Amino acid sequence: MLLSYLVTSRARRHLLRLLWADKVEGNVSDLARGAGVSFAAAHRELEAMRAEGLALSERVGAALVYRANPGYRVASLVRRLLKEGAAESAPFPAPDGERVRGWLAAAGAPLLVSQPVRDPRPRLEEVLAEGLVLSHRDATVARVMPLVLWRHRDRLDHGRLMRAATRRNERQSLGFFLELTGRLGGDPRLASLSESLRDRRRSRARPFFAGRQGRMALALALKKTPPLARQWGYLMNMGMDSFASAFAKHREAT
């Protein structure tokens, strides 16, 4: 493929496709997850694209949102290259949200699914890592993640789970959910596990949930964000009481 020959960086190719072909907008974390690359790689490439003029950035509340620059001087050439390289697919396509919800339900999450999972499920650690990714788009999944972690706390391969989360750029969210689960269930071991996942380079809290955040949503998030979420660098319009009530209601079934 000509695109692969000219653009040798996998991260750069995937980010170009997201911004230019798929017309996705988002902050560094959103785009890193969508491209399947690390936060550091996404940040480096997005800033290079902005400097070159391929991307525009806009401050939306606490987040810096990137998007394609349609006024780029050779925009038509970029679109043509991406169109010709469309057959080159990502090596690990992400499963759709309904399938991940089915996997989580089979693992004990109190989720309604349209139909039971019929295909073989991935390992539990991979299911939980996909749940972390989906939790940024599905508030119900975020609410019940502590229940699944609690149910399987004594049988999880924590090293495998951390590696699966790292591949998906979800170390920070895994750390948050591990510590949250430990607090809700009264198990300090989970909080201890979470410490190795903390990214101390984060100096600014970012929205946990993906998508554009309007002023009203950001104001609610600033008001309702649990202190624990803020310690992990997140803003979310979901109070601690929401997690606690779901955990208390379904804990006995786990």
pLDDT, residue 90, reads 42
Cα(116)–Cα(72) distance, rounded to whole angstroms?
47
Mean pLDDT of the chain: 85
Q: Hey, where are the domains in the chain?
A: 2-84, 97-253
The highest-level CATH class for domain 2-84 is mainly alpha
pLDDT, residue 89, reads 42
Burial 210-221 (b: 16+ CB within 10 A, else e): beebeeebbebb
The 3-class secondary structure across the chain, one letter per residue, is CHHHHHCCCHHHHHHHHHHHHCCCCECHHHHHHHHCCCHHHHHHHHHHHHHHCCEEEEEECCEEEEEECCCCCCHHHHHHHHHHCCCCCCCCCCCCHHHHHHHHHHCCCCCCCCCCCCCCCCCHHHHHHHHHHHHCCCHHHHHHHHHHHHHCCCCCCHHHHHHHHHHCCCHHHHHHHHHHHHHHHCCHHHHHHHHHHCCCCCCCCEECCCCCCCHHHHHHHHHHCCHHHHHCCEECCCCHHHHHHHHHHHHHHC
**Whole-prediction pTM:** 0.68
Burial 62-78 (b: 16+ CB within 10 A, else e): ebbbbbbbeebeeeeeb
Residue 99: both structure tokens together: 């399938």
pLDDT, residue 184, reads 95
Cβ 20 vs Cβ 30: under 8 Å: no
Could you say which residues of the chain have pLDDT below 50? Answer: 87-92
Strands 234-235 and 206-207: parallel
Tens of pLDDT along 79-115?
888 876 654 444 445 568 888 999 999 999 999 887 7
Task: Give residue 7's Cα distance to chain centre.
Answer: 25
Question: Which of 62, 47, 51 lies closest to 15 in space, CA to CA?
Answer: 47
pLDDT, residue 211, reads 66
